[in-house]
Amino acid sequence: MDYMTLKEAAEKWGVTPRRVNYYCAAGRIPGAVKMAGVWLIPKNAEKPIDGRTKQGKELKHE
C-alpha cells in the first residue's frame, strides 16, 4: 500500500498538517499508522468530515 505524509495529505485536502495530525490521533483516518513518530496515511484515504463547519454538521446528521 502506498502512503503519504501529513504534509502531503494536508495539501491534498486543503487543511493544515496539524489538522491531519488530529484526524490521525483521533482514529478518524482508516489505515493511518504511526511509524517512528511519523504518521503515514494511505494515498487513497478520504478526508474525514469536519464537524466544525456547517457542511460537516449537515452531513453528520444525515
Query: Structural domain boundaries of the chain?
Result: 3-60
**Whole-prediction pTM:** 0.78
In this predicted structure, the answer to whether residue 50 has a pLDDT above a threshold of 90 is: no
How confident is the model over 3-47, as pLDDT tens digits?
999 999 999 999 999 999 999 999 999 999 999 999 999 999 999
In this predicted structure, the answer to whether residue 61 has a pLDDT above a threshold of 70 is: no
Q: How many other β-carbons are positioned within 10 Å of the β-carbon of residue 19?
A: 18
* Cβ partners under 8 Å of residue 14, min gap 6: none
Predicted pLDDT at 52: 72
- The distance between the two most distant Cα atoms of the chain, rounded to a whole number of Å, is 38
What backbone torsions phi and psi does residue 34 show, to the nearest 5 degrees? -105, 120
Question: Which of 10, 52, 57 lies closest to 29, judged by CA?
Answer: 10
Q: Which residue has the higher pLDDT, 1 or 56?
A: 1
